[in-house]
Amino acid sequence: MNYIQLITTQQYNEILSQLSDNVILNLQSVGVSNGKDEALQLLEKQHNYLKDEIKEIKIFKEFEDSKHLVIEYDILLNNTFDLPLVIIFEKDGDKYGAIRTYHSVYPITEGHVFRASILSERIELTEPTEVVNYFKSIAVGSTEETMETLSFEDDVYFREPAGWRWNHKTKQGLKEHFDHFFSDGGVPLKFHNYIFDNNKGTFAGEYTCDVWGSASFKPQAGVSIYDINEETGKITGIRVYDNVDPNYK
C-alpha cells in the first residue's frame, strides 16, 4: 500500500478497502481510531497534518514477516528538511487490522510533541543475536560493547529520528555519538513487538522508553530498525523513529 501517496492525494477509499472492519489506527501527531468509520476521520486529519509540508515522497525500504508489513519513507519537506517516517501494518488475513506510524516531529516543528506508549505487553527479544547484544549494551550504557555489535566493514551508520542531517558514521564518529548518548547512563528500552525479515536481513523493534541515564519520564513510544550483515550477523545500519524527550515528567 502506497499509504503516504494515497493520503496526500486524498484517496481514502483505496486505503479503507485494504483495512479490516475493526482496524485500529495510531498515527503520530494525529491520533487514534477504532473501526473504519473513525479511520476515515483520522485519515483526513493525517492529510491535513501533512498537506502543506510535503515536497517529495520516496520509499526508503519495505520489509515484512508473516504478521507485519513495514514501509520506511524518506519525505522531503518544503522547508528543505527530510522527514523519516515509518509505517507498521499488522496483517489480518488479506487486509490490515492495525496501522501505526512513527516519526520525529522535529523536522516540521523543530520541537517535540509527547507520544504516549502504544503497546502494553512486554516481550523478551531472542533474535537476531547481535541486535539483542546491541540492546543489552545500550541498556547499560557501554560504548565499547555497543560498538562490537556494528559492522564497520559495511560502513555502518546510525541515523537519528530527526533525519539524515544527524547521521553518524565511521568508528570515530560512532564512538563520539555513543559516548554522548551514554553520558548520563544507559537507555533500557522496553520491547513490545518485533518484525524480522530474514530474506532482507532487516529487524524492527517497537518499544517504550521511560528511562535515559538518571532521568525517568513518561513512557513514550518508538521503533528502531536494523539492517544486518547476513554472514557475520553484525549491524550495518540503524534508523530510529521516535519523538522521545526526557523532559516529559
- Residues 189-213 pLDDT 10s: 999 999 999 999 999 999 999 999 9
Q: pTM above the 0.85 mark? A: yes
- Beta strands 19-27 and 95-103, pairing class: parallel
**CA gap 92, 89 in Å, rounded:** 9
How do residues 94-131 score in pLDDT, each as one tens digit?
999 999 999 999 999 988 889 999 999 999 999 999 99
Burial 81-97 (b: 16+ CB within 10 A, else e): bbbbbbbbbbbeeeebb
How do residues 143-163 score in pLDDT, each as one tens digit?
999 999 999 999 999 999 999
Within 8 A by CB and 6+ apart from 36, the residues are 16, 19, 21, 23
**CA gap 245, 112 in Å, rounded:** 7
Query: 161 is written with which cell numbers?
Result: 529520528
Cα 233-74-20 angle, rounded to 5 deg:
85
The DSSP output letter for 37 is: H
